[in-house]
Amino acid sequence: MIDLAVVIPAYKAQYFEDTLSSLAAQTNKNFNVYIGDDYSPDNLRSIADKFSGRLNINYTRFPENIGPRNLVKQWKRCIDLVNNHEEWLWLFSDDDIADPDCVARFYTALGQNGDRFDIYRFNTVTIDGVGNIVQPNATGPKEESGEQMAYHLLRGERGNSMPDHIFSRAIYDYCGGFVETDFAQGADWATSVLFAQQKGICIIPQAKVYWRKSGVNISSVAAINEGAMIKGHLQFISWMLRHFGYLKNTPSGITYHMMVGAVIVNIRQVMIHHFKKLSFYNARILLNFYKSELGLSFYESIKQVYLIKEGTVPFIRKVSDLYVRFSSGLKSRIFKNSSAR
């Protein structure tokens, strides 16, 4: 019996054959492939047909392209293509690559752990458009709780993307599917955290998934769609804060205060390395978010914007610098006046 469904929300032809080749090279072929063509202008079916004798492919071409507007909805309708008998779901992508032993290692881990986990993850390596390794992402322990994973993930100490996860259909149905954000910003992270809440997550260290940062996927063009994608990322951050609200009263090694600190680190890292710039308008949005969602003072909020130096427009840096200097001078004068009394 085949227990694993590999689900590919497909749109781009550029690396699609490489993706299917990596699946066809799996040492364990005990899986079905479901391809959901998001009304692509490319002839993806002709590429899929090349693997008809090597992969058990179920191909569906949707009548409408929805990925650019709602990528999470595209994920969901692709999952809906899966037959009910597969108990495990692997949401892959149309441009990433899996090591040849990924499926075999998954079944080995599943046999060793039984029903201990609802979600398994491979470590991720970031590659560029021609397959060169850009970044060997941080690896995690063999298992950890949802709180631990989220904390380290926010701090940049874990790799995480949707294609490196295999999750049970049971937890997918129980949680009501994927967490939804604009442009799917952080939706993979939030979904991983949600699915790991009850039983934690098991990392399969021996095999890797190669996540492609090619310049043509949504993550690669973040700086172009700055405003809308920042909004999506802040939706993800808000979800994380709500989700871990229980840590205020029931800390489990990771406290709510620690999680907020990790969120602050994440926003700074994402703005510097992902979006690479910050307009005055979006700086105001961040200031308001720091105050309203994280409870920071106006001064601390300005300080956080100031710390986002690399990748920001000079005007924002100058305004932040002037304000920090002014505030520091004002505080110093107030302190001196108070001491004089």
226-243 helix and 256-270 helix, angle to the nearest 10 degrees:
170
- Residues 186, 75: Cα–Cα separation, whole Å: 14
Shared-domain flag, residues 189 and 304: no
Residue in 303, 235, 239, 230 with CA at minimum distance from that of residue 271? 230
Q: How many other C-beta atoms are found inside a 10 Å radius of the C-beta of residue 217?
A: 18
Shared-domain flag, residues 204 and 232: no
Shared-domain flag, residues 37 and 185: yes
- Residues 1, 30: Cα–Cα separation, whole Å: 8
Shared-domain flag, residues 14 and 31: yes
Shared-domain flag, residues 244 and 173: no
Residue 227, both tokens: 């405003």
Q: Which pLDDT score, from 0 to 100, does residue 290 have? A: 96
Q: Which pLDDT score, from 0 to 100, does residue 203 have? A: 95
| DSSP type of residue 246 | G
Instruction: Give this prediction's pTM.
Output: 0.86
Q: Which pLDDT score, from 0 to 100, does residue 329 have? A: 57
Shared-domain flag, residues 59 and 151: yes
Mean of pLDDT over the chain: 88
Q: Which pLDDT score, from 0 to 100, does residue 171 have? A: 98
Q: Which pLDDT score, from 0 to 100, does residue 286 have? A: 94
- Residues 137, 160: Cα–Cα separation, whole Å: 9
CATH label of the domain that carries residue 76:
3.90.550.10
- Residues 227, 267: Cα–Cα separation, whole Å: 14
Q: Which pLDDT score, from 0 to 100, does residue 316 have? A: 45
Residue 160's φ and ψ, nearest 5 degrees, are -170, 125
Q: Which pLDDT score, from 0 to 100, does residue 215 have? A: 64
Shared-domain flag, residues 182 and 297: no
For every one of its 341 residues, what pLDDT tens digit does the chain have, with 9 covering 90 and above?
Answer: 679 999 999 999 999 999 999 999 999 999 999 999 999 999 999 999 999 999 999 999 999 999 998 999 999 999 999 987 899 999 999 999 999 999 999 999 999 998 999 999 999 999 999 999 987 777 789 999 999 999 999 999 988 889 999 999 999 999 999 999 999 999 999 999 999 999 999 999 889 999 998 766 555 444 557 788 899 999 999 999 999 999 999 877 899 999 999 999 999 999 888 777 788 888 899 999 999 999 999 999 999 998 885 544 444 445 555 455 555 555 555 455 554 55
Q: Which pLDDT score, from 0 to 100, does residue 36 have? A: 99
Chosen domain end from 165, 195, 219: 219
